[in-house]
Amino acid sequence: MKTRALVITGFGINCEEETAAAFRSAGGEARIAHLNEVFHEKISLHDFDILAFPGGFSFGDDLGSGKVLANKLTYKRMSSGRRFLDEIERFLGDGKLIIGICNGFQVLVKTGLLPGLAPNRRQQITLTRNDSGRFEDRWVRCRLAGAGNEPFLRGLDEIELPVRHGEGKLVIRDPAVREAIEAQGLGCLVYVDETGAATGEYPANPNGSDLHLAGLTDPTGQILGLMPHPEAYLTAYNHPAWTRRRRENPNRGDEGEGLAVFRNAIEWMDGRRG
């Protein structure tokens, strides 16, 4: 049986098709489901191996990106009376994986699933407005950092991906939380400049995130959140400079750099099942 990913949609999420295509292209299966289908228990989260919260503009970002959806995940009671967040805890307890991309990252932060340092899932950090004061829609380069225990990022070094966000600045106000993130290597992906050095300088860092962070994981490595969009770079032809790159290197493959993120997750779960 193939590894199965559940890709959530609804309420303004709009990158579900690309995210599902990423998992399928990586050798897995993917089902797109409206969150209400899960809440009403027409679909069981536990029939899947990976849970994905794609990018988009859930609830129009009216109260801050991802906040309303995060509250829904935290407090909503399912048809059985169980909290959805409790089902997520069970899902993680079974060794399964969660990824949140852009708006999905904002949701994971605002539910407290990331960085996951508080036992009661209290929100400890936030993602807020870019220092530039505007929506950033362009390509950035990131480098793998942190403890290196993230199934999604295994074997990666640097990766170029597009960003599409107005609220991507990660803010860590509590010095103790900042210290824990650094000490445990939870800052798994950082924005880098043209030399490969982590940077807070615009435009290489599109939002001014603390610790230059583009992505974050929890202590188990099972949860990954990132602002750049790996599902938007599945083939070489997604890149705006693909023609020049092909001329410079005619033997360059057709695969986009973002596909490796999803293949890593599929292979990780395949390996767990033996």
The residue annotated as part of the active site, out of 16, 87, 231, 257, is 231
72 to 39, 164, 244: CA distances (angstroms):
10, 24, 45
User: Which listed residue (18, 229, 239, 257) is catalytic?
Assistant: 229
**Catalytic site residue from 15, 18, 87, 102:** 102
160 is catalytic: no
Q: Please report which helix (H) or strand (E) contains residue 43, including its range.
A: none
| Whether the Cβ atoms of residue 136 and residue 202 lie closer than 8 Å to each other | no
> Can you give the length of the chain in residues?
274
Rounded-to-integer distance, Cα 145 and Cα 22, Å: 23
Counting Cα atoms < 13 Å in the Cβ hemisphere of 48 gives 24
The answer to whether 102 is a known catalytic residue is yes
The DSSP symbol for 261 reads H
Axis-axis angle for helices 103-111, 67-75 (nearest 10): 50
Strands 213-217 and 223-226 turn out to be antiparallel
Q: Do 212 and 182 contact (CB within 8 A), yes or no?
A: no
Beta strands at 136-144 and 189-191: parallel, antiparallel or unpaired: antiparallel
Whether 229 is catalytic is yes
Catalytic positions are 102, 229, 231
